[in-house]
Structure 1
């Protein structure tokens, strides 16, 4: 099994760890200290060595931070985690703070008197984060001070840094040599008058060099830093024990491997202007450039958009991975419908689904910890089942099953909501509204230049009309055998990045009623050039190709709530599921599929 079910949140351990941190803060003259979820590379997921927020507080969500004062400790979490955090932290010592509704600078202003100093680790906070916080604190008398390593210093059994091997990624799947990628990006640096770019995001480095790693669970990326020069040459700073002769041969003479300890000196020796991404560059990197007199230019990570816009080989790989993965999920659904669901637990579903994926013979890893939430657990948006939380399914439950696989040719992410017995009318009505939003986004045609923020409301509209909504984005980017959550593309009310052909995103509206049930339906989609309808304007349009092929449970649909166009889309989608998946299915699953995809 890739997934384990150990309890990783231990609220009772938080208070003594909090007091140990406060003792160090007193010694260093700090009134506050910031403990982020992020590591030095600013990825969403972190290695056990870097899971400082979870170690200190017990909170295991993928986003958030803790602001520790001597008389308070605020755990800042967004809407995805407001139920989860209550069960994971000692609430008599840690206070959940709704974020971003409550800004950190406002919270600090209200909690601290003028003249106080708040510490932060300059390797764990970005240039943009610290700048915004300093702007928000302007005039308050509260100042920030770099104070690296305070949590590490009180963590006696901190796991060692990861040392996963770095391996070449096949060129036929990457669709472009890393030499061509470096040449292309170097030209863009020269065009902007930049001599080099500092790259700190592991998935950017993995994409650029056509390499993969295993330093982060579920994400096939290596830890390291890179400097891309305007000549196309690149220096990769990583643990050299991860690099064998095959990797060195793959990288060739224009890529220099150096130990991470050489990164600082290399930064200070650069000739500027040097490009840094303020959204991902650690403060310490910017400080070292500044102290050495190396001019820096702020701009987006040069790999971000090229990585997001998949080439034909990457799209072909994604299609193949989704067909394989879809067949495995259908085998699971057939199995599920032939069980006595009331005898199953949430863990049973996770282990069975992973087993069917393993049976493909191509699964490298799961792409994230499977979310298997039944009944009230389904309302915890990023619920992770453990042995202590494991729940037996009950008649009338809904089960949110959000899962994915890492395959060499692509990364998958799919959510289906399943009934246990006979769900009530209200959950079915909510499910149908979520389905209508998912269909609306799937069918959408839109002009070039439209961003995720412009179309987010399309998926929410049926819920809004009923006075309902969900507290997560409608869609995140997905990598090509990389991270299941990839930026900068998003379908969200805060995303102003125009969608471009080749971007892969999720389409996942949902609805969650705390203490009762959760609903989410998710397919992956890719942006493509749209056909111009007869009579349409002479303007360039885009639409979405659906990559995920798994039936949507008709038992949860209220048919009369669907329009004729919505029914037509769903029936056509189910027909396509039959056509695409049937050759890969067992006889039992093929028979199940015929019934599951009957006309609505």
Structure 2
């Protein structure tokens, strides 16, 4: 359960692997090859056998891709990873590219010759993704060519696919049986005259069938594909060995388990229109159906929105999980506040201790993602993951950013707290307070129905913008109920046009990062719910908080806070003390009383 802090991929391994890939490109008659981070399920986290980008380049971030040409190999990363990528790849052989500012089509136009053939594996890219690149390449003479996976061809010691056992997700936490979900979604298919829907996202499949797994680190999913038919039956394409007798009985007669390699034949046998999500399904699925003249209905995965709209049982489970997780966090922060100022704790010590406190709940199944623990300048690396090479002490007078979460049978948590180690660095108080003001603004907001995440994103950024500051990540992501900690499609970001709905759970995590000095992020999870009637009784929504852990008052410039912000913070801390105080040890309770004192 405890994290492995060994270095997974070293930059010096990149050059010979890149050379082998280029030889394979030449043998295949290709002038380039695209290597994504994602697997066939478009997962943020991937199994070791699918970690092609890290294997080739050394870059271990959760998003990005590489385009390898004969003379240059670009590694495309967004703002979260601009610092990290330069630390992980061999800059003599790989060129970091700022994406999405630089589009792959534009980069190819500049770096590949006219008539170049760029290969890609259609099982690892969505139809929408490839269509966008092809559109950008129109008129250049550069072509994208479907190909076998050339990385797999040269990866001699590639690990085997995951084969962890699946488990039942209890109906008391799901709030609805799998049969009821299948029936409900099948009725929607019939109404649209759709014969079947292809499901390629493991969390959609696990939600639909009320199952969970352990194929992917930190994400309780079963790696699989599925087809939901208009009569409510499901064909599940997964390793048979993952399902014991109890689980088969749970799935019932309406679900048949078939070998993964039988998916192609099953797709070819479907009669009638087939739903395919062009934004999540591999392009290969659409190509297979098109080859057999099957009518394709391109629309969103039918599980996506029902999964995002948490029902009463799922919300209750998430609330219980957050109270449990908060007790672990308070015990941890109490311990940290006593030990860190001594100057002996390293980042790995902190991560190990935090997981220990979560394990002490006797309910932790896994952490929900690799803990981000950045001391000093490491905190400015947005998705920093400590390893033995980067591990450094948390020094007195610095900030320590800890972003972590837990997977429990009833819920998933994600929380970030930034704390002072000993004496408070004065130059951090103003940015910390601006981040806090942004988090409070989003927590307090009311908004009409049909408002999307893009409309709300500016609320969290406005206090930072006033100082000429900003952050290069979204303000909030969707969170699954005892599922993946990053769950689409709901987001709070500049690019999210999906209206928020009651039951959607999101993170609220503005930040500020000063390279080489410190990083600041404060994160709570929030639940979208119907707002109480007010004013002219317009139909409005609001957020309620799920996370109950104190925010470091020592880092706040109180003079910057307005009266309503002070009231919100004091009320929040009073509720933290009321909810969590009775659940922690006497030592932690004494610390909590001080940490939650009003300002």
TM category (shorter chain) comes to over 0.9
Alpha-carbon separation, structure 2, partners of 1:554 and 1:538: 37
* Equivalent residues of 1:198, 1:226 under 8 A apart: yes
Which deviates the most, 423-432 or 401-410? 423-432
- Is 1:498 matched up with 2:499? yes
Task: Using the TM superposition, give the Cα deviation of residue 294 of structure 1 relative to its aligned residue in structure 2, in angstroms.
Answer: 0.9
> Pairwise mapping of residues 128-143 of structure 1 onto structure 2 (< 5 A)?
128-143=128-143
User: Would the aligned equivalents of 2:376 and 2:399 in 1 still touch at CA under 8 Å?
Assistant: yes
- Indicate whether 1:520 and 2:516 are aligned: no
- Residue matched to 2:60: 60
Partner of 1:476: helix, strand, or coil? strand
Deviations 1:207-243 (A, max 9, x none): 0000001100000000110000011111000011111
1:251 match: 251
User: What root-mean-square deviation, in Å, do the aligned CA atoms of Structure 1 and Structure 2 show?
Assistant: 0.8
**Equivalent position of 2:388 in the other structure:** 387
Q: Aligned partners of 2:167, 2:375: CA distance in 1, in Å?
A: 39
Corresponding position of 1:369: 370
Query: CA 1:522–1:147 in 2, change beyond 3 Å: closer, same or farther?
Result: same
What SS is found at the alignment partner of 1:235? strand
After the TM superposition, which residues 94-113 of structure 1 pair with which residues of structure 2 at under 5 Å, given as runs? Answer: 94-113=94-113
Residue in structure 2 matched with residue 319 of structure 1 by the alignment: 319
The residue that corresponds to 2:212 in the other structure is 212
Match of 2:96, SS? strand
1:345-398 CA distances to partner (integer Å, 9 max, x unpaired)? 111111111111000000000000111100000000010011111111112211
> Is this contact kept in 1: 2:340–2:422, CA < 8 A?
no
Contact 2:340 2:395 survives alignment (8 Å) = no
Unmatched segments (≥5 aa) in structure 1? none
Task: State how far apart, in whole Å, the 2-side matches of 1:148 and 1:217 are.
Answer: 26
Asked if structure 1 preserves the Cα contact closer than 8 Å seen for 2:2 and 2:352, the reply is no
Residue in structure 2 matched with residue 583 of structure 1 by the alignment: 582
Q: Secondary structure at the match of 1:411?
A: coil
Matches of 1:399 and 1:314 in 2, distance apart?
32
Q: Does structure 2 conserve the Cα–Cα contact (< 8 Å) formed by 1:48 and 1:159?
A: yes
Q: Where does residue 45 of structure 1 map in the other structure?
A: 45
Distance 1:29 1:537 in 2: 67
| TM-score for the superposition, normalised by structure 2 | 0.99
Contact 2:574 2:596 in 1 (8 A): yes
CA contact (8 A) 1:477 1:487 kept: yes
Is the contact between residue 162 and residue 215 of structure 1 (CA under 8 Å) also seen in structure 2?
Answer: yes
Tell me, what secondary structure is at the counterpart of 2:507? strand
Q: Could you tell me how far apart the structure 1 residues matched to 2:2 and 2:213 are? A: 16
On the 8 A contact 1:511/1:518 being kept in 2, the answer is: yes
Secondary structure at 2:366's aligned position in 1?
strand
Matched, 1:240 2:240: yes
For 2:598, the equivalent position in structure 1 comes to 599
Cα distance in 1 for partners of 2:352, 2:346 equals: 10
Residue aligning to 2:402: 401
1:367 touches 1:413 (CA, 8 Å); kept in 2?
yes
Q: In 1, are the aligned partners of 2:340 and 2:394 still within 8 Å (CA)?
A: no
- Equivalent in the alignment of 1:12: 12
- Please report how far the alpha carbon of residue 2 of structure 1 lies from its aligned counterpart in structure 2 after TM superposition: 2.6
Question: Residues of 2 paired with 1:100 and 1:418: CA distance?
Answer: 32
**Displacement of 1:340:** 4.6
Within 5 Å, give how 1:434-449 maps onto structure 2. Answer: 434-449=435-450
Partners of 1:374 and 1:208 lie apart in 2 by 41
Distance in 1 between the 2:72 and 2:472 partners? 26
Matches of 1:225 and 1:340, distance apart in 2: 46
Q: Deviations over 1:158-217 (max 9, x none)?
A: 110000111111011000001110111111111112111000000000000000011000
> Could you give the per-residue CA deviations for residues 527-556 of structure 1, whole angstroms, max 9, x where no partner exists?
0000122xx123110000100000000010
Distance 2:207 2:529 in 1: 21
**1:280-295 maps to which residues of 2 (within 5 A)?**
280-295=280-295
2:357, 2:451 → 1: CA distance? 39
Q: TM-score, normalising length from structure 1?
A: 0.99
Partner of 1:468: 469
The residue that corresponds to 1:452 in the other structure is 453
Name the CA distance, whole Å, in 1 between partners of 2:421 and 2:24: 51
Greater mean deviation of Cα atoms: 332-341 or 505-514: 332-341
> Unaligned regions of 5+ residues in structure 2, if any?
none
In structure 2, the residue corresponding to 1:297 is in which secondary structure? strand
1:488 is paired with a residue whose SS is strand
Residue pair 2:123, 2:284 contacting (<8 A) in 1 also: yes
Q: Which runs of at least 4 in structure 1 moved beyond 3 Å after TM superposition?
A: none
Whether the 8 Å CA contact 1:75–1:95 is kept in 2: the answer is yes
Which residue is equivalent to 1:531?
Answer: 532
How far the C-alpha of 1:571 sits from its partner, in A, is 0.2
Distance 1:423 1:14 in 2: 41
State the match for 1:261 in structure 2: 261
Hey, what's the Cα distance between the residues in 2 that align with 1:307 and 1:243? Answer: 23
Question: Any residues of structure 2 matched to 1:104-253 within 5 Å, and which?
Answer: 104-253=104-253
Q: Report the Cα offset of residue 425 of structure 1.
A: 2.2
Deviations 1:26-74 (A, max 9, x none): 1111111000001001111100010000000000000000000000000
